[in-house]
A and B are shown apart, each in its own frame.
Chain A
């Protein structure tokens, strides 16, 4: 009986959802195409249009997505960074549960399943390359697709590769923790500088805006993305490490 009711509710829900979103045109160019619904096209000036038209003037970043994420909606990014920080912390809280009981067993079979010499050597060579690629992605976040979150994830994946190929690979927890905290503090401090100097939190055009489409442009946006990159990289590495340690 329960299952029948659940199925019925699910069917109604699916029908309802399908009917609502079947008219949606994902990826549709709203700004240039003429919409059939004149009521909407007349009244609404999409926020996206404003971003495209004023981005160069206000942010001087050639990647509009970055200037939306970091500048126009920088407060959300601060929140997202916090969410990641929380997730890493919460995971640490829950995973420390099993740590004490399994300590002895882990040491015995640590030598088993050791990867071959080829894997070890290759990952030792690849590690700095992946690391540099991650750094490239977040340093050029205001010019090319990518940014702090992506670059940080790439760096964390380099560490994941090292964890997989060396069973006794260890990271220094206090250094990672410090990087995590320091980058968070720097992000807020950048916001507070704007607040103290100009009365605007997270004002990112404090320094010279530079030449459009070069590395040194877009004010504080690349600096914020570098901070985010450091933070995400250290956090995800810590997450992977806490999974590995409590396996």
Chain B
């Protein structure tokens, strides 16, 4: 049995409660705790992957408290959860390396919130209970509010306030939706609800569906309700922004589709509506990114656009499309990791304010970072041998085969827009003129290492063909876990 999978949540929680005590002993120790926790989680998730491979890839459940599923809370772990877990712990590890000595006057509280944010996201990905999902959504968003305000200047307090207002609204919508479902089905277990959802009157189903759709769309940064994103991304400390963009959004997109596919067994009408939202999100995100002068803001809009692309892919409902969406999630997490961390590293070296023009000609002084950032931009745009290409190829072919030619055209148009502002950015950093601001060369080992490791991951995904073939197989299985409702129910409740 793999009951130790619960340690993915229990250990970070233990560490977070331990931090205040550790800080009383020595003020310098708390900053190493996130590294230990994320490293442990990485090893544990690789271990679970090996376990799953040894057992024909059938997902397994973990019963908490020893109660059988509809009555107790259970975790559901399959390939999809493990892909996301590995992503969370790997990106988390890289960012906790980067964070050391980065955030100004980071005290023990910062590391506590950081670990709890990662813990909340981990819980979202593996839980099999609807109310438990809400609890983890709360943990994620409350730690996100506090981390947004961490710099404590006007900008970050304003952003945090906006985030709190809209985030609480999202929580209320989600809670009402869950309450209505619980009233009609008398159960909170996702598999059990899914079993009974067709006995619920249609208007009640539609009501709770729309409640959960609005609430989760706010968290997943979908179009009409994502106005908070650029402000929050710009104002929070860079490691936190990277976590938001690379991990938190991915987990909330997963929750969004788990609720649509499994809880509500959504039909094609709903999926087409969601696909429409995805298309608008993609276009608005990419077009707004064009005119930004602040790097973090530009990357925030680009991140919104990518969310749109992932949502389009998964809502196509075909196994190829969902697999492509999951692939794009992984790619985007790694690319945005490099872009946010790399550009922040460059900006601190020229002591700039975060404008793109501050980085004019930075490539002469920082050739390695500039090269890696440009490399990841090229991979993000989807230049053929690199990993971004394969994901986009899968998405486009599945959308094409589901008969939405116009959406294919719109995705390609958005890619062109994306290419315009990203290539303009590359042109700025490779400018031949001298840099204007004072440059102080600070080679920090803990900042270069995460960026280089991210870049190595891109190469691994791009050029090792054997790995790619195996990986595609895993992706298709993961897609099947998300879309195949009856196998989900039979795994959780038994046949």
Footprint of B on A, CB under 8 Å?
16-17, 19-21, 24, 30, 39-40, 43-44, 46-48, 50-51, 58, 71-76, 78-80, 82-83, 85-87, 89-90, 92-94, 96-97, 174, 177-178, 180-182, 184-185, 188-189, 191-192, 194-195, 198-204
Contacts and interface: CB of A to CB of B under 8 A. Distances in A.
Interface stretch (B50-58, B149-157, B331-339, B364-372): B149-157
Nearest to A202: B65
B168 to A, nearest CB: 12
B70 A89 contact: no
Given A82-B119, A86-B142, 4 more contacts: A47-B186, A85-B17, A94-B146, A192-B10
6 contacts: A82-B116, A97-B152, A181-B21, A200-B3, A200-B63, A200-B65
Nearest to B7: A195
A174 B44 CA distance: 34
B180 interface: yes
Contact of B18 (A73, A86, A181): A181
Chain B contact patch, size range: 35 or more
A97 B157 contact: yes
A79 B180 contact: no
Given A89-B112, A96-B152, A24 B71 contact: no
B73 A19 contact: no
B152 A79 contact: no
A180 to B, nearest CB: 7
Contact of A90 (B18, B19, B146, B199): B146
Interface in B1-28: 1, 3-4, 6-7, 10, 13-14, 16-21, 24
B17 A184 contact: yes
Interface stretch (B129-137, B243-251, B404-412): B129-137
Contact of B1 (A40, A189, A199): A199
Interface in B184-226: 184-189, 196, 199, 203-204, 207
Nearest to B64: A75
A191 B10 contact: yes
A76 B131 contact: yes
A83 B142 contact: yes
Contacts of B186: 30, 44, 46-48
Nearest to A41: B199
A108 B180 CA distance: 54
Interface string B150-192: 1010000100100000000000000000001001111111000
Contacts of A16: 207
A52 to B, nearest CB: 11
A245 to B, nearest CB: 16
Nearest to A184: B17
A46 B71 CA distance: 9
B304 interface: no
A24 B188 CA distance: 18
B66 interface: yes
A25 B149 CA distance: 42
Contacts of A182: 21
Contacts of B86: none
A188 B13 CA distance: 8
Contacts of B119: 82
Given A17-B207, A79-B139, A200-B66, A185 B18 contact: yes
A44 to B, nearest CB: 6
**Residue from the set B71, B136, B196, B203 with the largest chain A CB neighbour count within 10 Å:** B71
A245 B19 CA distance: 23
A185 B14 contact: yes
**Residue from the set A90, A181, A200 with the largest chain B CB neighbour count within 10 Å:** A90
Contact of B65 (A74, A96, A178): A74
A69 B3 CA distance: 22
Contacts of B199: 39-40, 43-44
B132 A79 contact: yes
**Residue from the set A48, A73, A174 with the largest chain B CB neighbour count within 10 Å:** A73
Given A20-B207, A47-B70, A181-B18, A75 B142 contact: no
Given A86-B116, A94-B152, A184-B17, A47 B207 contact: no
B250 to A, nearest CB: 21
A26 to B, nearest CB: 9
Nearest to B21: A181
Given A16-B207, A86-B146, A89-B146, A75 B71 contact: no
